[in-house]
């Protein structure tokens, strides 16, 4: 049994329930607390709520300026202007990708994020530099936060020759998923981009996560095609649409059809609860059986000055943007940060049940809704049975 990965977490309220203890043995939650090894460290939760590790299902660790001096936002208001500003900024910062990503990932871990899915730019000008930096970081920081990589064609796929080959090479190196972006409005070739991504997925066995900012019918047509390809290849549960702004901008009849198609094909969605763009109807999606996760998207980068990596805050933003007021609705937003993210990332051992990984966050709050709305400071953050705060490794 690995020393230091046994932890007896006492006097906690799992997901706001009755007070109890949870024993973590060798990094995994034990069936009972009846057989506690003598050397086990004890952590007294003193009535705190215990949450499973929080999941950031959509981030851009390679783009962040976290840890660098503040820089005023310089990009224009359109998506294309932000992409151009991003490219310009990255030219000066590519060498420090690992350092910047490490600063942000460590900060997220300290706030209780146990898993991050990060999209990582892949394109001919930068090659696989960012992928290599993030793969190294993923290994080095795995005892604090688990990082999963998406090979992301930020600057286009069909219109940016050489990108597809680099994406496939990124999967061979260790990235888990293939990304995509606005196949109609970026590449102006919906079928071309989506065919290329799904063909690569079939060859490599990688999952898929596609940025879809396209709104209204343009986005709906792309989503239809993503669902059809997912179903045709039997990729249920392994395809995610990020943002899905179109789900908040089509009429009722079209929306109902899209939700049915997503549920039928097994396509999930991640929202970051943007301040100035449509948010998908998350309650309706969850009720239809669609996996809904939550991400931060970029944090303090060329796209946005906002973000602090706190997934409790992001749950609050999703609830707030969705107009949620009742406890059960606010809990739904929190659940998207936990079970929803776990479903999208295929984490079968995530949670507080016996056999799950010993990842846990303790917060002082009365209820789950209180924890989301107040976003209290973290009382303890546990990863694989190690209390990261006590270990002073954050």
Residues binding Zn ion (CB under 5 A):
297
Pick between residue 53 and residue 295 the one whose CB is nearest to Zn ion: 295
Q: In this structure, are strands 41-52 and 386-387 parallel, antiparallel, or unpaired?
A: unpaired
Pick between residue 218 and residue 297 the one whose CB is nearest to Zn ion: 297
Residues forming a β-bridge with 48:
12
Pick between residue 62 and residue 297 the one whose CB is nearest to Zn ion: 297
Provide, rounded to whole angstroms, the least separation between the CB of residue 228 and Zn ion. 23
Pick between residue 111 and residue 150 the one whose CB is nearest to Zn ion: 150
The tokens of 274 are what?
């943007």
E runs forming strands in the chain = 7-14, 20-25, 28-29, 41-52, 54-59, 113-121, 146-152, 177-181, 207-211, 239-242, 267-271, 292-294, 360-363, 378-383, 386-387
* Nearest position to Zn ion, beta carbon: 297
Q: In this structure, are strands 54-59 and 113-121 parallel, antiparallel, or unpaired?
A: parallel
Pick between residue 187 and residue 297 the one whose CB is nearest to Zn ion: 297
Provide, rounded to whole angstroms, the least separation between the CB of residue 211 and Zn ion. 5
- Alpha-carbon radius of gyration of the chain: 21
Phi, psi of 277 (to 5 degrees): -135, 160
Provide, rounded to whole angstroms, the least separation between the CB of residue 272 and Zn ion. 8
Pick between residue 266 and residue 295 the one whose CB is nearest to Zn ion: 295
Provide, rounded to whole angstroms, the least separation between the CB of residue 19 and Zn ion. 40
Q: Is 27 exposed, middle or buried (0-12, 13-18, 19+ CB in 10 A)?
A: buried
Strands laid side by side in the 20-25 sheet: 28-29, 20-25, 7-14, 41-52, 360-363, 378-383, 386-387
Pick between residue 6 and residue 56 the one whose CB is nearest to Zn ion: 56
Provide, rounded to whole angstroms, the least separation between the CB of residue 57 and Zn ion. 11
Provide, rounded to whole angstroms, the least separation between the CB of residue 297 and Zn ion. 5
Provide, rounded to whole angstroms, the least separation between the CB of residue 97 and Zn ion. 16
């Amino acid at each position: 049994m690995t020393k230091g990965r046994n932890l007896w977490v006492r006097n906690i309220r799992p997901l706001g329930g009755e007070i109890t203890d949870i024993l973590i043995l060798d990094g995994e939650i034990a069936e009972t607390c009846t057989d506690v090894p003598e050397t086990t460290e004890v952590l007294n939760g003193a009535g705190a709520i215990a949450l499973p590790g929080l999941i950031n299902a959509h981030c851009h660790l390679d783009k962040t300026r976290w840890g660098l001096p503040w820089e005023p936002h310089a990009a224009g208001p359109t998506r294309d202007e932000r992409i151009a500003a991003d490219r310009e900024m990255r030219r000066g910062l590519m060498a420090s990708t690992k350092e910047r990503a490490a600063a942000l990932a460590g900060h997220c871990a300290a706030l209780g994020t146990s898993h991050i899915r990060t999209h990582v730019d892949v394109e001919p000008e930068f090659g696989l530099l960012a992928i290599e930096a993030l793969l190294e970081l993923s290994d080095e920081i795995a005892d604090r936060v688990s990082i999963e990589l998406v090979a992301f064609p930020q600057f286009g796929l069909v219109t940016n020759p050489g990108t597809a080959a680099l994406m496939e090479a990124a999967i061979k190196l260790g990235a888990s998923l293939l990304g995509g972006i606005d196949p109609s409005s970026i590449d102006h070739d919906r079928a071309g981009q989506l065919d290329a991504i799904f063909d690569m997925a079939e060859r490599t066995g990688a999952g898929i996560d596609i940025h879809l900012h396209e709104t209204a019918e343009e986005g709906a047509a792309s989503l239809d095609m993503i669902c059809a390809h997912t179903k045709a290849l039997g990729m249920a549960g392994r395809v995610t649409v990020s943002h899905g702004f179109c789900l908040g901008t089509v009429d009722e009849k079209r929306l109902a059809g899209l939700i049915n198609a997503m549920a039928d094909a097994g396509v999930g969605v991640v929202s970051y609860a943007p301040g100035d763009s449509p948010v998908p109807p998350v309650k309706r999606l969850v009720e239809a059986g669609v996996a809904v996760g939550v991400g931060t998207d970029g944090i303090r980068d060329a796209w946005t000055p906002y973000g602090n990596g706190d997934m409790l805050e992001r749950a609050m933003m999703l609830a707030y943007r969705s107009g949620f007021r009742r406890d059960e609705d606010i809990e739904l937003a929190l659940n998207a940060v936990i079970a929803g993210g776990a479903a999208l990332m295929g984490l079968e051992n995530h949670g507080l049940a016996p056999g799950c990984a010993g990842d846990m966050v303790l917060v002082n709050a009365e209820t789950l809704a209180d924890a989301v709305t107040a976003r209290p400071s973290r009382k303890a953050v546990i990863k694989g049975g190690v209390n990261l705060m006590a270990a002073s490794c954050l």
